[in-house]
Structure 1
Amino acid sequence: MKAIYAAEQKRHDPKMFLSSGAQKPNPEQPERVERLLAGARAAGCTVERPRNHGLGPAASVHTPEYLDFLERIYERWQRIEGASAEVIPNIHPIARGGMRPASAVGQAGYHMADTSCPISAETWESALWSSWTAVEAAQSVMAGAPAAYALCRPPGHHAFADVAGGFCFINNSAVAAQTLRKQAPRVAILDVDLHHGNGTQGIFYARPDVLTVSLHADPIRFYPFFWGHADERGDGPGLGYNFNLPLARKSGDDAFLEALASAVQRIRAFAPEALVVALGLDAFEGDPFGGLSVSTPGFARIGEAIAGLGLPTVIVQEGGYLCDELGDNLTSFLTGFGAKHQAA
């Protein structure tokens, strides 16, 4: 299997975020890349560099005013006397309607859901290359590869059409799905990250051509809190095309795989021509976020279950944070997926 990655993705290096009101080091660190690359190579992947695909893929799922904000906000922020070194919002609208403020401070609150996605001088370039990684992997699958792994960093599934959040800026999984739509009338996105893929859900919530399915820690007491509940089924033409499977905290392999069986059944009923897997490795029992309790061998079983769908598949890296087993967990998933997918 090809693994796609560009070195520019390491340049984004956020320093902090607020968690429960406390300032802490940001866990979405560049070192994640080295461990994930080692894990991909251990699974037998060959690493290739993506091409520059321009702004079109991101613009297919994000608004132009949001992309303009991401590109220019750091430079504008630096002109504010006494501003922080990174763009971090300190005010958010109660409701987001037609009014969009002109000030950099107001726009940061308008376009950033939380404090976990600071924007520095390198963020825009890294986010673009991360999205191009997803595009390259999707194009590889469109050209006939049975599967490809996109080592996307920064991740993307918390980014809405016009809002960053949860370490995410450009929604790489949505970009991959939209790229696949050029050939596939129906695409499914299966998100197995610890956290609900709220941005991905939001982007496709009113569309019947992309089925969004997410397994995640129950948001009633876990990020992102306001999305990811079982009664969120889609809207308008998309009603019935969103499927959330919230899991109790500390759920392990068996509970995760039981929910995954329901997810696979729903995807089969949708009969897609291609699949995007939003791969979070933060469901691991030893991940710093500690929300679920999937084991390293459990990721192989998850990979096998997903590969059983037998679909052309783009695997897009989402979460999974610094712990000794991070690379091993990726190796486990890709090995399990690859063995089953080849047999299918």
Structure 2
Amino acid sequence: MKAFFDPGQTAHDPQTFLANGVLRPSPEQPRRAEVLHEAAVAAGCEFSVPEDHGIAFISDVHPSEYLAFLQNIHARWQRMDGASEEVVPNVHPNRHGVSYPDGMVGQAGWHMADTACPIGPHTWASAYLSAQSAVSGAQAVLSGEQAVYALCRPPGHHAFSDMAGGFCFLNNAAIAAKALLRAGCRPAILDVDVHHGNGTQGIFYDDPEVLTVSVHADPARFYPFFWGHAHERGRGPGEGTNLNLPLDRGTGDDGFLAALENGLERIELFGCDALVVALGLDAHENDPFQGLAVTTSGFASIAARIASLDLPTVIVQEGGYLQPELGPNLRSFLEGWQG
């Protein structure tokens, strides 16, 4: 399988992660990418460094005001007396206000949903390269590849059009889907991360041209909490083109595969001719987030069932955190896909 990754994606090295009121090391470490790269090579992936396709594909999803914020906020932040080494907001307006602030502290709160997405000196560059991996994956599919793996790190599915969150800055799956749409395809996004792809849902919630399907742990008491519930179906012209399939905490292979069947049926009925899989490996039973209990062999079954749709597919890496089975989980998925 053809694959894309740029070593510069590892330069982003977040140090701040506030969980349950406690400051902890970020689980989204650069080492994740190294482990995933090694596993993908072991599964037979042939990696290339992605081309720089420029900003246009990214700006199909993210407005220029937000991109300017991501590109410049760290340098601006460092000019503030007593500033932290990373940009971490201390105020979150939740968009109830109507005025966009001039000051950097206010803008950080506006554009950053939580404290899991600190912006450091290399965040923009790494996120940009991660997005280029996704675009290169889409372009390879458009050129005739049946399935391509984009090792996107930092991940993307919690990023809204103008707001970072949950380790994510640019929504790589949405960018890949928009690249396919731009070329005349009718794409669907299938998210199998343990966390709901709330940013992806938000980007396409009013859009009838892209179907979004997510199988994930029930957000009633699990991140991202406010999105991912079964009643969320899309809005306006996009009503009926968003499908959430939340699962009880601790659900294993059989329950996950049963929900997946419902998602795949909807994808087939949508009549799509290209697929983006937002691949999270954090649904594993030993992942640090402990949301679901998919086994390593279960990832092979999940992959084989999705691959049976026989759609040109961009596999975009999302979550999956450092633990002994992280690499084997990716290898299982990719080998299951390839049969």
Bin for the TM-score computed over the shorter chain: over 0.9
Shift in alpha-carbon separation, 1:184–1:302, aligned structure 2, 3 A: farther
Contact 1:185/1:209, CA 8 A, preserved across alignment: no
Distance 1:56 1:31 in 2: 30
Distance 1:248 1:184 in 2: 37
> Counterpart amino acid of 1:160?
F
Gaps of 5+ in 2: none
**What is the SS of the residue equivalent to 2:69?**
helix
Q: Which residue number corresponds to residue 239 of structure 2?
A: 239
Q: Which residue number corresponds to residue 111 of structure 2?
A: 111
Distance 2:70 2:7 in 1: 20
Q: Which residue number corresponds to residue 284 of structure 2?
A: 284
The one-character-per-residue Cα deviations of 1:151-195 (angstroms, maximum 9, x if unpaired) are 000000000000000000000000000001123441100000000
Gaps of 5+ in 1: 340-344
1:70 aligns with 2:70: yes
Distance 1:119 1:84 in 2: 10
The one-character-per-residue Cα deviations of 1:282-336 (angstroms, maximum 9, x if unpaired) are 0000101111000000000000010011100000000000011111100100111
Contact 2:95/2:110, CA 8 A, preserved across alignment: no
Q: Which residue number corresponds to residue 11 of structure 1?
A: 11
Contact 1:96/1:110, CA 8 A, preserved across alignment: no
**What is the SS of the residue equivalent to 2:212?**
strand
The alpha carbon displacement at 1:338 in A equals 1.4
**What is the SS of the residue equivalent to 2:188?**
strand
Distance 2:307 2:29 in 1: 29
Contact 1:6/1:50, CA 8 A, preserved across alignment: yes
Runs of 4+ in 1 over 4 A off after TM superposition: none
Q: Which residue number corresponds to residue 80 of structure 2?
A: 80
Distance 2:109 2:323 in 1: 32
Q: Which residue number corresponds to residue 149 of structure 1?
A: 149
The alpha carbon displacement at 1:100 in A equals 0.6
TM-score normalised by length of structure 1: 0.97
Contact 1:219/1:226, CA 8 A, preserved across alignment: yes
> Counterpart amino acid of 2:313?
T
The Cα RMSD (Å) is 0.8
**What is the SS of the residue equivalent to 1:181?**
helix
Q: Bigger CA drift: 315-324 or 51-60?
A: 51-60
Contact 2:94/2:110, CA 8 A, preserved across alignment: no
1:43 aligns with 2:43: yes
Contact 1:135/1:176, CA 8 A, preserved across alignment: yes
Q: Which residue number corresponds to residue 342 of structure 1?
A: none
Corresponding pairs, count = 339
Q: Bigger CA drift: 5-14 or 48-57?
A: 48-57
Q: Which residue number corresponds to residue 140 of structure 1?
A: 140
Identity of aligned residues (%): 61
Contact 1:184/1:274, CA 8 A, preserved across alignment: no
1:308 aligns with 2:308: yes
> Counterpart amino acid of 2:22?
A
Contact 2:304/2:336, CA 8 A, preserved across alignment: yes
**What is the SS of the residue equivalent to 1:102?**
coil
